[in-house]
Structure 1
Amino acid sequence: MVLANGMVAGYPTVLIPSLYKENFNSGSPITEDQISWIGSIGFICSLFGCLLSGIITHPIGRSRAIRLASPFLFVAWLLFLFANEIWHIYLALCLCGLTSSLVEAPIIAYKAEVSQPHLRGMLSATTSLSCVLGVLIQFLLGTFLYWRTVAVISSVFPLITFVLLFFIPESPHWLIMRNKREDAHRSLAWLRGWTSLNDVEEEFLRLCVKCDTEEHPKVSSSSEDVERVTNERTWNVTLKMYTEKRFLWPLSLVFFIFFLSHFNGSCTLQTYAVSIFATMKAPMDEFYATVILGITEVVGCFLSLFVVKYFGKRIMGIATLSAVGICDIAVGAYAFLINVQYLKWSEDALSSTTSQYAWIPLCLLLLLSLVAHSGIRVLPWILLGEVFPHETRAAGCGIGSASYYLFIFFSNKLFIIMVNAMTIFGVYELYAAISFVGALLMYFALPETEGKDLDEVIDHFSEISRLDNKVKRTIH
């Protein structure tokens, strides 16, 4: 399903140049304002989907919440097939964003709850890897196929997800919280490699103790008592849980890192890739350059699996954000030197690009994307599933994911406005400043959670104990 979400994120990159060339806007080219809305409107709708996902994930379960969203995403993709007005495009993008984001909280919570500590960082990073694979698929499809055809092909992926999820068990943690311990035991055995119940007995008992201590008072095992106590706790302590420092502190940290991951130049590069490559006079077809961009994103996310495992999240975030800042300075300086100030949207944007230095901007932009996706673009998604207390994890993941879409909306919507006001040079130098200041603040604010047990991380943000800044190695 994350792959399908990546296809949603990558579709505006395919759609914008296609609609411009087609003169979709009543026979005339679409305007810059319409372009900015196409590049951002789906993400603001995703914000509301994430908030809703946090609400529905806790009561109905992680796996079921993902399965629920899949058919609606299928319908949303088909709307592009019948669109013949610009508002139809807006509507289809809104529905794609809303329905795809419904799975953010359940996916992140599920991965955090079923992963063993020494694998949690790598498995969480596969979320971003799957997402950029979806983006790359869209770039490839958009290079060779008509945009309506691309939408129809994209509609197949949520249907495949819907079917496959019937074979995936629910999170053992959620099942124990719902007093379904036999199902939880079988689920844990399946998730540990289709092993026997006896082989996971010790881990299962530890999980039961944790859930009993943190989530439920001691009551009889009757369904009536469990339901009564669950309802009482739901209404009496919900507000208190979401106003405690142990929830607000990690939430603020996630917000901050999501902001840094979007306002460093890599986010807008993905959305406006075709126009940026054309404007910077890259010496190849801009669509092929976009495909190469997608490949670098995939490679970067693949590298992040090993970066987080061997170097930890602190070095991963600080080092890659600093490197992105250096790339931003170089891109802005090159735009200044060749006197390119504003974005170009017409097909003749690549004319007279025979300079022997024309490969410089292409290499710089690809390097920026590679470095960002090997660290700072992946980092907040890894943190999201492990920094919240068990009882507020689903809602925390939903709210945190919503901040991702809020920031991506503003970064995409404001990009054209900022370029027109500050020029390309000014925008990329601003991105560089944000990156360097963010890396410095991250050094003091971000604890090292790699290899640590979920309860150790939760205790740190609850101020029960304190994490050190070393990666915890587990010997097997």
Structure 2
Amino acid sequence: MNESSDKVSRFRRILPQVIATTVKNFLMFDVGLNIGLPTVLVAALTHVSNEHNQNESLSITPALASWLGSVSYLFQPIGSMLSVFITDPLGRKRAMIIVNIPLAFGWFILYKANSVWAVFLGSIVLGLSVGLLESPIYVYLGEICQPSTRGVLFAYSRIYTTAGIFTIFLLNTLMPWRTVALICFALPIITAIALLFVPETPIWLISRNRQEDALKSLRWLRGWVPRHIVAQEFIEIQESSERSKWCNSCIKQNQKCQHPPPTFSERFIELKRKRTLKPFAIVGGLCFLSQFTSVLAMRPFIVPILKAYQTPIPADQVAAMMGFLDNIGAVMLFFLIHFMGKRKLYITSILGVFLCSLILCVYGYSYLPSGCISFDKTRTFEMENQTLTYIPVVCLTLWSFFSFLGIIVMPWMLLSEIFPLKSRGIASSISAALNYFLGFISKKTYYDLETSFSLPGMALFYCILSGCGLILMYLILPETENRSLEDIERHFSDNSKGLTDRNIVISKRKSKNEPNDDDAENSQKTNSSHMITNCSAVFENKNRSNESAYENRGFEIELSKL
């Protein structure tokens, strides 16, 4: 065998994963556009926006604005639950292609809207679409990446989300909101075409017994390599997929399962098991903190909030600055996550939010008039020292920066990797639905909370929640960076470990197709012939048991405790 053909550079291994992730990230960009959309609509229809929307004929009251700012989040959980019926049955790739149809439809409705209710309808359709796409895009990312690149590529994906937020805020400063909607209408069409050129995940293909297609996909994703380069990883994926179909009694007895596959309703029973409930508790806590401590709850109303703080810079420009800093936070996440890990980054980000909300609380109670709220346009005041008005600008922009450095991102990161394979599709859909439902609650109640507590009172509210969240996540948040999906599943399947046992042990057995040094590459060359034999045997006997493959490989699979 040609020795040079066995050498696969790290760049070549990572490049196709980056390409597939980039194409998928067009949907992430659309998510960012949808996150920023309520801010644009509320500002335009309450007539507190820039000169480009001065001739807008539609208008809404502050109470109706609270609905417009949150209605899409009310329907996103519905979309997330519906995604269960397309993510697993149709595959991750087809599901991502299909969701572009309602996305384009929603943007077109907004562009042609001639009444307030048409604006609401467009927002509802977009909310359903975002809910539909979240589960397939995160599961897709988790299943195509190697453990060493998963965290970095996830952080890379979030750059597109923040870029979408910044883009829609920037476009809002240059043109009317209807023109913005028309430009956004083109993105789903481009995305659907681009997705045709990336592969389906090997894990999903193997679960559908499409072995040859799965191997082609894995070869594509690992650098367009010959099959012997990915032979061992392919066998490992087969074993994991086969084991995920075993019933729990067979897993406990360490024997091959001969029972029929579980029905769709029986798969929901897996949600009640501790290995799913423990990750769900962590993800659920992260979802709550992302919606009730980050900048997301106030974002639809950020323009009137900035005006209430008497900021020296025009409010829509500050909103665009916040979008830019969101992007900077996502870029820093991309560069830092591999070195710091997810846990340290999250602790840093929620600590930053705590300090920003604390400073804004002290500023508000010291300098704002008593009972000051952003929805009261009749009540104005003048700051004697105009220099102090930069304090809320700095605090709110940094608040947004720290939010996207970790708080907003972390639930989605863990959603793609922390759940066991058997319940991953359903559990991730339910978690996404929970996140969106909490997002609706946080945005819909913001108007009532601010009118009750005032602007400084809301800052105090967020300060208390972020402080409690800091303590909670310090105790229970595990480090999953550079841990394989099998290591993570093994950790949560161990019933002897509680939520505060956050150390996930890295398995000593590493995949040969992901070398970390020259020795690993040499080992791969030495065993390449052996792997070819194994891989060929798999395809000759793909409808038979994988037990013979286990014996040929000479190691036992460590079964997780239940």
Normalising by the residue count of structure 2, what TM-score does the alignment of the two structures yield?
0.78
C-alpha distance in 2, partners of 1:472/1:293? Answer: 38
Contact between 1:67 and 1:162, CA under 8 Å: does it hold in 2?
Answer: yes
Partner of 2:60: 30
**Gap change, CA 1:345 and 1:203, over 3 Å in 2:** farther
**Gap change, CA 1:471 and 1:327, over 3 Å in 2:** farther
Q: Please tell me the residue identity of whatever aligns with 2:200.
A: E
C-alpha distance in 1, partners of 2:130/2:186? Answer: 14
Structure 2: runs of 5+ lacking an equivalent: 1-26, 48-52, 248-257, 508-514, 518-562
Give yes or no for the alignment of 1:75 onto 2:75. no
Contact between 2:44 and 2:56, CA under 8 Å: does it hold in 1?
Answer: no
Partner of 1:55: 85
**Partner SS state of residue 103, structure 1:** helix
Hey, which of these two has a bigger chunk of helix by percent?
A: 1
Partner of 2:115: 85
**Gap change, CA 1:396 and 1:77, over 3 Å in 2:** same
Tell me how far 1:206 sits from its aligned partner: 1.3
Tell me how far 1:471 sits from its aligned partner: 9.6
Give me the CA root mean square deviation: 2.5
Alignment partner of 1:233 out of 262, 265, 274: 262
Q: Please tell me the residue identity of whatever aligns with 1:200.
A: V
1:181-260 to structure 2, matched below 5 A, reads 181-215=211-245, 232-235=261-264, 237-260=266-289
C-alpha distance in 2, partners of 1:428/1:265? Answer: 11
Q: Deviations over 1:191-213 (max 9, x none)?
A: 11222222212211111111112
Tell me how far 1:140 sits from its aligned partner: 0.8
Q: Please tell me the residue identity of whatever aligns with 2:464.
A: A
C-alpha distance in 1, partners of 2:452/2:221? Answer: 53
Give yes or no for the alignment of 1:166 onto 2:196. yes
Partner of 1:18: 44
**Gap change, CA 1:470 and 1:396, over 3 Å in 2:** closer
1:46-445 to structure 2, matched below 5 A, reads 46-215=76-245, 232-235=261-264, 237-340=266-369, 341-344=372-375, 355-445=386-476
**Gap change, CA 1:191 and 1:349, over 3 Å in 2:** farther
Tell me how far 1:348 sits from its aligned partner: 10
My pick for the range that moved more, 312-321 or 56-65, is: 312-321
Partner of 1:220: none
My pick for the range that moved more, 350-359 or 143-152, is: 350-359
Q: Deviations over 1:114-150 (max 9, x none)?
A: 1111111111223322211111111011111111111
C-alpha distance in 1, partners of 2:381/2:425? Answer: 47
Structure 1: runs of 5+ lacking an equivalent: 218-227
**Gap change, CA 1:404 and 1:119, over 3 Å in 2:** same
Structure number with larger C-alpha Rg: 2
Q: Deviations over 1:13-57 (max 9, x none)?
A: 111111122699977x42111110111001111110011112321
Tell me how far 1:106 sits from its aligned partner: 0.6
Tell me how far 1:308 sits from its aligned partner: 2.3
Tell me how far 1:423 sits from its aligned partner: 0.8
Contact between 1:124 and 1:382, CA under 8 Å: does it hold in 2?
Answer: yes
Give structure 1 regions of 4+ aligned residues with deviation exceeding 3 angstroms. 22-27, 344-354, 464-476
Contact between 1:265 and 1:328, CA under 8 Å: does it hold in 2?
Answer: no
Q: Deviations over 1:250-290 (max 9, x none)?
A: 11211110111111141134322212221111111111111
Contact between 1:63 and 1:165, CA under 8 Å: does it hold in 2?
Answer: yes
**Partner SS state of residue 356, structure 1:** helix
Tell me how far 1:216 sits from its aligned partner: 5.7
My pick for the range that moved more, 198-207 or 336-345, is: 336-345
Give yes or no for the alignment of 1:3 onto 2:34. no
C-alpha distance in 1, partners of 2:99/2:376? Answer: 35
Q: Deviations over 1:82-107 (max 9, x none)?
A: 21221111111000110122111111
**Gap change, CA 1:350 and 1:400, over 3 Å in 2:** farther
**Partner SS state of residue 196, structure 2:** helix
Contact between 2:138 and 2:416, CA under 8 Å: does it hold in 1?
Answer: yes
Contact between 1:189 and 1:195, CA under 8 Å: does it hold in 2?
Answer: yes
Q: How many residues align?
A: 464
**Gap change, CA 1:33 and 1:204, over 3 Å in 2:** same
C-alpha distance in 2, partners of 1:256/1:371? Answer: 18
**Partner SS state of residue 334, structure 2:** helix
My pick for the range that moved more, 166-175 or 320-329, is: 320-329
Contact between 1:114 and 1:171, CA under 8 Å: does it hold in 2?
Answer: yes
C-alpha distance in 2, partners of 1:33/1:207? Answer: 52
Partner of 2:22: none
Contact between 2:274 and 2:495, CA under 8 Å: does it hold in 1?
Answer: no
Alignment partner of 2:484 out of 447, 453, 456: 453
Contact between 2:298 and 2:443, CA under 8 Å: does it hold in 1?
Answer: no
Contact between 1:49 and 1:97, CA under 8 Å: does it hold in 2?
Answer: yes
Q: Deviations over 1:352-404 (max 9, x none)?
A: 79712121110111111111211111111111111111121111111111112
My pick for the range that moved more, 124-133 or 162-171, is: 124-133
Tell me how far 1:470 sits from its aligned partner: 7.8
Q: Please tell me the residue identity of whatever aligns with 1:400.
A: S
Contact between 1:55 and 1:395, CA under 8 Å: does it hold in 2?
Answer: no
Partner of 1:223: none
C-alpha distance in 2, partners of 1:20/1:354? Answer: 29
Contact between 2:491 and 2:504, CA under 8 Å: does it hold in 1?
Answer: no
Tell me how far 1:74 sits from its aligned partner: 0.4
C-alpha distance in 2, partners of 1:180/1:347? Answer: 66
Q: Please tell me the residue identity of whatever aligns with 1:142.
A: N
My pick for the range that moved more, 362-371 or 301-310, is: 301-310
**Gap change, CA 1:438 and 1:448, over 3 Å in 2:** same
